[in-house]
């Protein structure tokens, strides 16, 4: 056996290549590693340790490799290589341990403090677009009625006089037509009255259109845009949105209408809300009713929003007038008012949205003013 | 309408309730009191909102009748006499006396018997026209009703009291008897408001033998009106056909207290009572009646109003329509009888030959006696009735009308709240999920939803129509700027952007989903559309560009399944900048146009900043299914990224580079993108740009070899060179 002639740095030459001798030599180095890793308490010390052992040019591991591995006879290389790798793993493990325990123990609070950020500065927000308050309210209402078994039905915004008025029991020349000032399409004068085109004044025509298509039982809600020839003010717009409902089956009663709307309003405004019904008049329902809900803002004790009455009028409704069924029956014989009955209701989506969000001017909703719309983001 | 409680209480003595309780009780029964104003010792003033079907309740006596039902009290009967005769006798006499054209003191002739069912005339001589005094002046003061003269005030008082419009003529201005006829073509009449009107042959007029004196049921004439010099008066109280009055009122844009009541159906039995009331007030200042009351009745009209056939009413129908009440007993026969007879109906139990006395004493107005008939009902429902209807309720015609009356008087809030059983399923609209996806995607990408007007100006309609002359004009537009149905959402989008810029909101990204219209007066087509509009820097610190819009559309259109999606700048609409805009085509069909608003348009609209807009045809988009994600197996093998720095002549489009790369059909080419484009800089020759092309290679089943990668790279460089590219060194 001969000893390596090339001793590198302060790496002692190997005394021999037996496993015993190798173990002893590596154990000595391992002891050295342990000793030099005892004080790894600062990032600087850790870095020094890393350089001391793993440095690519002056690291001791490199020196060991040069001194012991490279000059070893081929048959010993495997044995040395194994021990070398174990040593390297040990050094890396110690380094890793030192770095992580250094962090977890917060050993250098000062260093951490130097990285302080101002958490009160605004977040980097990636802004979503804002949902329109009318659409948002409409979706909420549709979801409530969907849970009660109501499908959605829609219809055209430009209607014929027949669907908007006549089939809903507004006969030609009837004073009830005065309550819904109508925007009409040009060039209709020569047509028979029932074929004349107009902007629908309510979503109710879709009741008739749906009944003509589908026999009872029927449960539908109809959201949509409607227009009236009304002067605009804070609470009126020539364009607004309605949600209409229709339920037809055998034995549908006024009590069912009351229960349905009471339930829907409780879903919308919370279970403590109460409803009360007042006689009203709509040509296409009989009996007809206006519905008030106890003010959801003050609980009924009176506030600005309910004009100190404790109640807010929110919808119109009634039992479907038999003459409306007679019109539906022209296309669907099953709508025999002697055998079936039904109720219908309608509400202003814009009005509900205004109430919900405290909007005092309806025209803001149709202006596109971002200062307003952004508040719904 | 204003109502004095002191006046009401005179008609129904004995109401114990306070005015406020009375207001609540009336409101709960559909006689809505909107406001209660305390008048101190004079009781209260009610501000009423009476529904259009209840003309009978648009006066003090009508509301008193409702109060009498609420508290089950008697109504004070009205007198139909000027001379304190018993009202019943007078009513009977007037009914018995005249059938057909009347023979009477003052000649009245009805030439249009279907349009004027009853006409009463009373002559008062030596009257004194002077300011009103006493109760009339007092009540008008409380109601803030203008006082004119005792004669005119008497007619207004009568309308307020019992709802029957009346008219007073200066008798000495009349030439011959009264003729109720249609106007002659071109005939002129100066009405009481001082306006000379040309009458229409459809108008019904009250005339003398020479000239028209007034538009029947709408307004009297100027020449025969009461003046301070009037000595002799003719009092008119009549019943006119609702439709005729309504048409005249609309034709002459004259909505009066009289027309409002006549067109809703007045009480056929009221004219003698009204005539007496007016005459009594006028005679208080002096004068006397000459001759008997002329009362012409047209039996055919009487048969349609007062003597209508009874209707069948059953308790079974009440239960079927109304359902259960809180009170387990529900609506009993006696409850229904009390309510209906209180309203003035006469009930005969089915099969009985004599009228059935109602459960409690009916609060009937004897002067408006209803005709009691024995009828034979065809039904055998033991709880069914033949109901004779009161003359003042022409709105009651069918069984359901009586069912409503039962519910109304019984109280809506005394019915239970029940939920109906349901055996069906909820069906989604065919496009609901697609519409929701479009909205959700745009919101998530930072666009805010807005809603704009359905109408636009004619110039905008022409500019933004997809086909010429297809925009639909309005017949009675809200304003000139709203003369057309919008053919596009863009006019609205541009005005919203303008509004924001004018309010110093400089960063905006808006979208609208709505209906657009096209067609003709014959047929209007409606289609769903989407508009987007952006300006400033709404998304990031950088100003919005074409590519923000394109990216949004790529994201949005990518939610729908298609074989191809491409963008080009063919057939751009005139509202877009010709060099900074594009069309998006899905499977070859145009679905959207977008880009910079044409600078000339922007200037015309005074837009202070560059505005980017676009419109998508949602109907075309919705023809595509929503894209269903399909999973691609993840490769276990490392992808390899390679960058190529290339120089291209300026006219080379990314589209052509992309196309050339795809034509290589390299399966290993997983993805590629333009990592960086520099249009100028050192080492970029004029007329060229530099492109850093980043490509990624990957295989599913093994690692790529160096020689393969080299081969691919060479293929890419060669391909780029074939379209004018050059590898930078």
- Compare CB distances from B451 to A132, A247, A288 and report the shortest one's residue: A132
Q: Which domain holds residue B348?
A: 311-414
Under DSSP, the state recorded for B675 is E
Q: Residues A312, A305: contact at Cβ < 8 Å?
A: yes
Instruction: For residue B645, give the 3-state DSSP assignment.
Output: strand
Mean pLDDT within B657-680: 92
- Compare CB distances from A185 to B403, B472, B515 and report the shortest one's residue: B472
A370 touches chain B (CB under 8 A): yes
Residues B567 and B475 in one domain: yes
What is the rounded distance in angstroms from the CA atom of residue B462 to the CA atom of residue B468? 7
| Chain A residues in contact with B416 (beta carbon < 8 A) | 255, 258-259
Whether B425 is covered by a domain: the verdict is no
Whether B389 is covered by a domain: the verdict is yes
Is residue B719 pLDDT above 80, yes or no? Answer: yes
Is residue B366 pLDDT above 80, yes or no? Answer: no
List pLDDT tens digits, range B188-218. 999 999 999 999 999 999 999 999 999 999 9
CA distance A296 to chain B (A): 20
Residues B104 and B250 in one domain: yes
Whether B573 is covered by a domain: the verdict is yes
Give the model's pLDDT for residue A3.
38
Whether B660 is covered by a domain: the verdict is yes
Q: Which residue of A has its CA nearest to B501?
A: A369
A129 touches chain B (CB under 8 A): yes
Share of chain B above pLDDT 70, in %: 93
- Compare CB distances from A132 to B449, B485, B526 and report the shortest one's residue: B449
Task: Give residue B365's pLDDT band: very low, low, confident or very high (50, 70, 90).
Answer: very low
Name which of A122, A128, A129 to mutate to probe chain B: the one with the most chain B Cβ atoms within 10 A of its Cβ. Answer: A129
Q: Which residue of A has its CA nearest to B326?
A: A255
| Chain A residues in contact with B415 (beta carbon < 8 A) | 254-255, 258
| B408 with A256: Cβ contact below 8 A | no
| A369 with B499: Cβ contact below 8 A | yes
* B37: enclosing H helix or E strand: strand B32-38
- A198 phi and psi, to 5 degrees? -150, 165
Q: Residues A340, A129: contact at Cβ < 8 Å?
A: no
Q: Count CB-CB contacts under 10 A for residue A233.
A: 10
Residue B592 vs residue B682, higher pLDDT: B592
What is the rounded distance in angstroms from the CA atom of residue A28 to the CA atom of residue A30? 5
What is the rounded distance in angstroms from the CA atom of residue B488 to the CA atom of residue B472? 12
Whether B424 is covered by a domain: the verdict is no
Cα separation values, B232 from A21, A353, B168, B191, Å: 150, 62, 10, 20
The DSSP-derived string for B608-635 is SS-EEEEEEEHHHHTTSPBPPP---PPP
| Chain A residues in contact with B450 (beta carbon < 8 A) | 132, 368, 373
Q: Count CB-CB contacts under 10 A for residue A346.
A: 22
CA distance B234 to chain A (A): 31
| A322 with B398: Cβ contact below 8 A | yes
Cα separation values, A302 from A268, A294, A295, A296, B98, Å: 20, 9, 8, 10, 59
Residues B37 and B143 in one domain: no
Q: Which of B679, B711, B677 is nearest to B691 (CA)?
A: B677
The DSSP-derived string for B178-246 is EEEEEPPTT-EEEBTTS-EEE--TT-EEEE-SSSEEEETTTEEBSTT---TT---EEEEEEEE-HHHHH
What is the rounded distance in angstroms from the CA atom of residue B368 to the CA atom of residue B270? 7
Under DSSP, the state recorded for B473 is B
Task: Give residue B163's pLDDT band: very low, low, confident or very high (50, 70, 90).
Answer: very high
For B650, the token pair is: 């300026």
Residue tagged 């110690």 (tokens): A94
Residues B300 and B322 in one domain: no
Is residue B89 pLDDT above 50, yes or no? Answer: no
| A128 with B443: Cβ contact below 8 A | yes
| B415 with A199: Cβ contact below 8 A | no
Q: Which residue of B has its CA nearest to A339?
A: B320
Name which of B248, B412, B443 to mutate to probe chain A: the one with the most chain A Cβ atoms within 10 A of its Cβ. Answer: B412
Residues B408 and B439 in one domain: no
E strands within B100-187?
A: 108-110, 116-125, 166-170, 178-182
What is the rounded distance in angstroms from the CA atom of residue B488 to the CA atom of residue B517? 7
* Final residue before a domain boundary, out of B27, B44, B71: B71
Residues B335 and B299 in one domain: no
What is the rounded distance in angstroms from the CA atom of residue A87 to the CA atom of residue B551? 55
For A269, the token pair is: 């405004």
Give the model's pLDDT for residue A116.
87
- Categorise residue B204: left if φ over 0, alpha if ψ from -120 to 50, beta otherwise: beta
Residues B318 and B402 in one domain: yes
List pLDDT tens digits, range B599-632. 999 999 999 999 999 999 999 999 999 999 988 8
Q: What is the CA radius of gyration of chain B?
A: 40
How, if at all, do strands B611-617 and B565-568 pair? unpaired
Q: Residues B133, B114: contact at Cβ < 8 Å?
A: no
Q: Residues B251, B202: contact at Cβ < 8 Å?
A: yes
Is residue B104 pLDDT above 70, yes or no? Answer: no
| Chain B residues in contact with A185 (beta carbon < 8 A) | 472-475, 485, 521, 524
Residues B176 and B298 in one domain: yes
What is the rounded distance in angstroms from the CA atom of residue B564 to the CA atom of residue B2? 70
Residues B229 and B249 in one domain: yes
Whether B427 is covered by a domain: the verdict is no
Q: Count CB-CB contacts under 10 A for residue A96.
A: 11
Name which of A175, A291, A294 to mutate to probe chain B: the one with the most chain B Cβ atoms within 10 A of its Cβ. Answer: A175
Q: Which residue of B has its CA nearest to A182?
A: B476
| B426 with A151: Cβ contact below 8 A | yes
B608-639 burial code (b ≥16 CB/10 A, e <16): eebbbbbbbbbebbbbbeeeeeeeeeeeeeee
Q: What is the CATH number of the domain that holds B161?
A: 3.50.40.10
- Compare CB distances from B401 to A146, A219, A286 and report the shortest one's residue: A286
Give the model's pLDDT for residue B382.
66
| B476 with A188: Cβ contact below 8 A | no
Give the model's pLDDT for residue A164.
96
Name which of B312, B448, B510 to mutate to probe chain A: the one with the most chain A Cβ atoms within 10 A of its Cβ. Answer: B448
CB pairs A-B closer than 8 Å:
233
- Compare CB distances from B451 to A134, A156, A249 and report the shortest one's residue: A134
Q: Residues B578, B572: contact at Cβ < 8 Å?
A: yes
| Chain B residues in contact with A158 (beta carbon < 8 A) | 472, 485, 517, 524, 526
Residues B162 and B237 in one domain: yes
B80-115 burial code (b ≥16 CB/10 A, e <16): bbbeeeebeebbebbbeebeeebebebbbbbebbeb
Q: Say how many Å lie between the first and final Cα of chain A, rounded.
A: 83
* Final residue before a domain boundary, out of B414, B441, B458: B414
Q: Which residue of A has its CA nearest to B28?
A: A278
| Residues comprising chain A, all counted | 377
Residues B318 and B286 in one domain: no
| A278 with B412: Cβ contact below 8 A | yes
Instruction: For residue B151, give the 3-state DSSP assignment.
Output: helix
CA distance B322 to chain A (A): 4
List CB contacts of B430: < 8 A, sequence separation 6 or more: none
Q: Which residue of A has its CA nearest to B527?
A: A156
| A249 with B450: Cβ contact below 8 A | no
Task: Give residue B535's pLDDT band: very low, low, confident or very high (50, 70, 90).
Answer: very high
What is the rounded distance in angstroms from the CA atom of residue B170 to the CA atom of residue B84? 25
What is the rounded distance in angstroms from the CA atom of residue B689 to the CA atom of residue B678? 6
CA distance B526 to chain A (A): 7
Name which of A287, A336, A354 to mutate to probe chain B: the one with the most chain B Cβ atoms within 10 A of its Cβ. Answer: A287
| A369 with B500: Cβ contact below 8 A | yes
Q: Residues A289, A279: contact at Cβ < 8 Å?
A: yes
What string of pLDDT tens digits covers the 377 residues of chain A? 443 333 345 788 888 888 888 888 888 888 888 888 887 878 788 888 888 888 888 888 888 888 888 878 888 888 888 888 888 888 888 888 877 765 555 557 777 888 888 888 888 878 899 999 999 999 999 999 999 999 999 999 999 999 999 999 998 877 778 777 899 999 999 999 999 999 999 999 999 999 999 999 999 999 999 999 988 898 899 999 999 999 999 999 999 999 999 999 999 999 999 999 999 999 999 999 999 999 988 988 889 888 888 999 999 999 999 999 999 999 999 999 999 999 999 999 999 999 989 999 999 999 999 999 999 98
List CB contacts of A328: < 8 A, sequence separation 6 or more: A167, A208, A211, A212, A335
| Chain B residues in contact with A188 (beta carbon < 8 A) | 475, 521
- Counted domains in chain B: 5
Mean pLDDT within B400-428: 93
ipTM: 0.85
Instruction: For residue A223, give the 3-state DSSP assignment.
Output: strand
A173 touches chain B (CB under 8 A): yes
Q: What is the CATH number of the domain that holds B347?
A: 3.30.56.10
Under DSSP, the state recorded for B85 is -
Q: Whole-number mean pLDDT of chain B?
A: 90
Q: Residues B345, B401: contact at Cβ < 8 Å?
A: no
* Final residue before a domain boundary, out of B272, B304, B336: B304
What is the rounded distance in angstroms from the CA atom of residue A276 to the CA atom of residue B548? 52
What is the rounded distance in angstroms from the CA atom of residue B359 to the CA atom of residue B333? 9
Whether B627 is covered by a domain: the verdict is no
Q: Residues A273, A265: contact at Cβ < 8 Å?
A: yes
What is the rounded distance in angstroms from the CA atom of residue B514 to the CA atom of residue B618? 9
Residues B153 and B262 in one domain: yes
| B413 with A277: Cβ contact below 8 A | yes
Whether B257 is covered by a domain: the verdict is yes
CA distance B249 to chain A (A): 11
| Chain A residues in contact with B246 (beta carbon < 8 A) | 173, 175
Q: What is the CA radius of gyration of chain A?
A: 42
Q: Residues B169, B234: contact at Cβ < 8 Å?
A: yes
Q: Count CB-CB contacts under 10 A for residue B523.
A: 10
| B497 with A368: Cβ contact below 8 A | yes
What is the rounded distance in angstroms from the CA atom of residue B44 to the CA atom of residue B6? 7
| A175 with B52: Cβ contact below 8 A | yes
Give the model's pLDDT for residue A102.
59
Residues 263-302 of A with CB under 8 A from B: 263, 275-281, 286-289
């Amino acid at each position: 056996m001969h000893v390596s002639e090339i001793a590198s740095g302060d790496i002692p030459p190997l005394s021999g290549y037996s496993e015993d001798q190798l173990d002893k030599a590596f154990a000595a180095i391992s002891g050295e590693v342990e000793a030099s890793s005892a004080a790894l308490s600062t990032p600087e010390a850790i870095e020094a340790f890393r350089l001391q052992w793993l440095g690519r040019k002056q690291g001791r591991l490199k020196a060991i490799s040069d001194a012991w591995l490279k000059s070893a006879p081929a048959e010993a290389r495997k044995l040395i290589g194994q021990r070398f790798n174990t040593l390297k793993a040990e050094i890396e493990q110690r380094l890793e341990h030192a770095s992580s325990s250094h962090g977890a123990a917060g050993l250098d609070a000062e260093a951490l403090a130097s990285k302080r950020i101002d958490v009160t500065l605004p977040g980097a927000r990636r802004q979503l677009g804002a949902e329109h308050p009318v659409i948002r309210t409409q979706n909420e209402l549709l979801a409530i009625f969907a849970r009660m078994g109501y499908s959605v039905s829609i219809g055209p915004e430009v209607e014929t006089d027949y669907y908007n008025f006549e089939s809903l029991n507004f006969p030609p020349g009837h004073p009830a037509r005065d309550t819904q000032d109508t925007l009409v399409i040009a060039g209709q004068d020569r047509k028979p009255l029932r074929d004349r085109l107009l902007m629908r004044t309510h979503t109710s025509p879709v009741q008739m259109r749906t009944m003509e298509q589908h026999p009872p039982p029927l449960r539908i809600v109809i959201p949509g845009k409607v227009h009236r020839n009304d002067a605009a003010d804070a609470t009126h717009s020539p364009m607004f949105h309605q949600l209409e409902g229709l339920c037809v089956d055998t034995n549908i009663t006024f009590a069912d209408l009351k229960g349905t709307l009471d339930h829907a309003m409780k879903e919308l405004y919370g279970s403590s809300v109460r409803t009360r019904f007042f006689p009203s008049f709509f040509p296409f329902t009989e009996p007809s009713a206006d519905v008030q809900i106890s003010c959801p803002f003050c609980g009924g004790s009176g506030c600005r929003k309910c004009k100190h009455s404790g109640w807010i009028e929110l919808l119109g409704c009634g039992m479907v007038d038999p003459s409306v069924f007679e019109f539906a029956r022209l296309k669907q014989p099953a709508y025999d008012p002697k055998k079936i009955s039904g109720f219908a209701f309608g509400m202003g989506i814009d009005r509900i949205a205004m109430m919900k969000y405290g909007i005092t001017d309806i025209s803001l909703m149709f202006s596109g003013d971002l200062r307003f719309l952004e508040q719904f983001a | 309408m204003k109502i004095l409680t002191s006046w009401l209480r005179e008609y129904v003595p004995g109401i114990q309730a306070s005015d406020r309780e009375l207001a609540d009780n009336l409101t709960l029964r559909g006689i809505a009191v909107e406001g209660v104003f305390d008048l101190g010792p004079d009781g209260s003033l009610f501000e009423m909102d009476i529904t259009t079907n209840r003309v009978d309740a648009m006066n003090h006596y009508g509301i008193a009748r409702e109060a009498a039902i609420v508290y089950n009290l008697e109504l004070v009967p009205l007198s139909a006499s000027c001379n304190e005769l018993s009202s019943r006798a007078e009513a009977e006499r007037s009914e018995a006396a005249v059938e057909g054209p009347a023979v009477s003191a003052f000649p009245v002739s009805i030439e249009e018997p279907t349009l004027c069912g009853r006409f009463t005339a009373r002559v008062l001589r030596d009257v004194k026209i002077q300011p009103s005094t006493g109760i009339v002046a007092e009540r008008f003061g409380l109601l803030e009703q203008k006082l004119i003269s005792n004669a005119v005030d008497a007619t207004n008082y009568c309308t307020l009291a019992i709802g029957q419009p009346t008219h007073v003529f200066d008798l000495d201005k009349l030439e011959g008897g009264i003729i109720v006829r249609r106007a002659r073509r071109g005939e002129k009449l100066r009405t009481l408001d001082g306006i000379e009107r040309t009458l229409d042959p459809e108008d019904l007029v009250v005339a003398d033998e020479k000239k028209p004196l007034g538009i029947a049921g709408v307004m009297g004439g100027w020449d025969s009106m009461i003046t301070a010099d009037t000595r002799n008066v003719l009092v008119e109280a009549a019943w006119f056909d609702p439709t005729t009055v309504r048409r005249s009122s609309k034709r002459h844009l004259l909505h009066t207290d009289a027309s409002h009541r006549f067109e809703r159906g007045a009480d056929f039995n009221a004219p003698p009572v009204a005539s007496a009331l007016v005459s009594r007030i006028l005679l208080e200042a002096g004068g006397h009646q000459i001759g008997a009351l002329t009362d012409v009745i047209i039996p055919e009209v009487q048969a349609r109003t007062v003597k209508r056939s009874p209707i069948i009413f059953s308790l079974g129908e009440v239960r079927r329509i109304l359902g259960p009440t809180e009170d387990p007993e529900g609506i009993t026969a006696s409850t229904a009888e009390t309510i209906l007879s209180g309203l003035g109906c006469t009930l005969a139990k089915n099969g009985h030959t004599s009228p059935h006395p109602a459960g409690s004493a009916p609060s009937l107005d004897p002067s408006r006696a209803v005709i009691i008939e024995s009828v034979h009902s065809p039904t055998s429902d033991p709880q069914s009735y033949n109901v004779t209807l009161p003359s003042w309720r022409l709105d009651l015609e069918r069984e359901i009308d009586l069912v409503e009356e039962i519910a109304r008087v019984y109280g809506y809030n005394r019915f239970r709240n029940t939920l109906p059983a349901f055996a069906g399923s909820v069906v989604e609209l065919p496009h609901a999920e697609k519409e929701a996806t479009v909205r959700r995607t745009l919101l998530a990408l930072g666009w805010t939803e807005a809603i704009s007007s359905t109408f636009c100006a004619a110039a905008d309609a022409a500019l933004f129509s997809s086909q010429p002359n297809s925009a639909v004009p309005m017949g009675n537009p809200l304003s000139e700027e709203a003369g057309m149905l919008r053919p596009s959402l863009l006019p609205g989008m541009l005005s919203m952007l303008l509004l924001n810029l004018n309010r110093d909101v400089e960063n905006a990204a808006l979208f609208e989903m709505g209906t657009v219209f096209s067609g003709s007066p014959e047929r209007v087509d409606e289609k769903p559309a989407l508009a987007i509009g952006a300006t400033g820097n709404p998304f990031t610190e950088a100003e919005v560009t074409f590519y923000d819009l394109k990216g949004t559309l790529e994201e949005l259109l990518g939610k729908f399944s298609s074989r191809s999606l491409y963008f080009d700048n063919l057939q751009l609409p005139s509202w877009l900048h010709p060099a900074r805009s594009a069309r998006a085509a899905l499977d070859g069909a145009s679905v959207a146009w977008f880009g910079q608003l044409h600078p000339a348009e922007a200037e015309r609209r005074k837009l202070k900043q560059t505005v980017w807009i676009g419109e998508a045809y949602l109907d075309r988009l919705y023809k595509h299914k929503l894209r269903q994600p399909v999973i691609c197996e993840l490769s276990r093998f490392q992808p390899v990224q390679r960058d190529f720095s290339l120089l291209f002549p300026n006219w080379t489009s990314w589209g052509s580079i992309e196309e050339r790369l795809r034509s290589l059909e390299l399966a290993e080419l997983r993805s590629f993108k333009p990592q960086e484009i520099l249009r100028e800089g050192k080492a970029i020759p004029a007329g060229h740009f530099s492109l850093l092309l980043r490509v990624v290679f990957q295989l599913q089943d093994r690692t790529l070899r160096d020689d393969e990668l080299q081969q691919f790279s060479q293929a890419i460089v060669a391909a780029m060179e074939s379209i004018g590219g050059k590898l930078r060194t």
